[in-house]
Amino acid sequence: MPPKHPQIVELRQYMLHPHKRDALIDLFDREFVETQEAEGMSVMGQFRDEDDPDRFVWLRGFADMPSRARGLQGFYGGPVWAAHRDAANATMIDSDDVLLLRPAWHGAGLVHDPARREGRAGGMVDITVFTLNDAASPALLDLCRECMAPVLQRDGALAQGWYVTESSLNNFPRLPVREGEHVLVVVAVFKELIERNVSSALSQWLKTPPHSMKLVPTARSAIHA
C-alpha cells in the first residue's frame, strides 16, 4: 500500500515542449496514478505552474529509500510505462529537475489522502524551494516550526509540509536527482494565494534567493484545497 505519511519525497519539475502540458496531464492522470501506487509509491499531487505554461510539477512519496528502489524498478520496468513512455517523453524537454527530500522534523510531512482525488480539486498550492548554505541546522528548523508554520496557518494555509534534502545516494540512478546542494522546501495549500515574503527571516541561511511556485492542482491531485 502507498504510504500516507511518506518519509521520502521527490519534488519533480518538468520542462515541457510548448502547448504539451495538458496532453501530459491527461495521460498522467489516466495512466500513471493508480499504477504507480500499485507498486507501493504515493502519487501525492500533480500541478500546473500558473506562471509557466510549459512546466508540470508533481510530488511522489515513498515509505523509505529501499521501497523507493523497489517501487521505481517495478513501475519503470513494467508494462504500463512501456506502453506509454514514448507518448509521455514526447511532451518533455527536461525531466531531471528532481529534489530528493525528507520531512524536516517528525510530523512535518504533508499528509495526503488518495480518496480526495475523486472530488473536485481546487485551491492553490505554493511550493517554495530555499537553497541553503549548509544542511538545515536545528536553529533554522526551530524557527520554521515555531514561528513560520504558525504564520502560514494564520495566512490561511489549510495544510503544509516542510522538507529538507535527503542525503542518501540516489538508489535508482536511471532517474537523476539534483545532488551537491542543501534545500528547505515548503509546501502549503490555500483556497487562494496571497503575496507573502518569508525569505527575509531566513536570509542568514540562504545561498540564493528562494524559488516560489504558484501551482494549480490537476483534476486528480490528492493534494488540493
Contact in structure between 96 and 172 (CB atoms under 8 Å): no
Q: Kindly compute the dihedral angle of the four CA atoms of residues 46, 51, 55, 60, in this order, to the nearest 10 degrees.
A: -30
Which domain range does residue 112 map to?
Answer: 8-217
How far is Cα 120 from Cα 130, in angstroms, rounded to an integer? 31
All three cell numbers of 183: 534545500
How many distinct structural domains can be found in the chain? 1
Position 222 in a domain = no
Q: Which residues contact 89 (CB under 8 A, 6 or more apart)?
A: 95
Position 86 in a domain = yes
CATH number, domain with residue 142: 3.30.70.100
The pLDDT, as a whole number, for residue 159 is 95
Position 203 in a domain = yes
Position 58 in a domain = yes
User: Residues of the chain with pLDDT > 90: what percent?
Assistant: 87
The neighbouring-strand residues paired with 182 are: 132
Rg, the chain, Cα only: 17
The pLDDT, as a whole number, for residue 119 is 66
Position 135 in a domain = yes
DSSP H stretches of helix in the chain: 21-31, 34-37, 65-76, 79-89, 138-143, 149-154
Position 2 in a domain = no
Position 123 in a domain = yes
User: What is the residue-wise DSSP string for 128-155?
Assistant: EEEEESSSPPHHHHHHIIIIIHHHHHHT
- Secondary structure class of 168 (helix, strand, coil): coil
pLDDT band at 45 (very low <50, low <70, confident <90, very high): very high
What are the tens digits of pLDDT across the range 125-137? 999 999 999 999 9
What are the tens digits of pLDDT across the range 192-211? 877 666 667 899 999 999 99
Position 94 in a domain = yes
- Secondary structure class of 82 (helix, strand, coil): helix
What are the tens digits of pLDDT across the range 115-158? 888 767 789 999 999 999 999 999 999 999 999 999 999 999 99
| Entry pTM | 0.96
The neighbouring-strand residues paired with 132 are: 182, 206
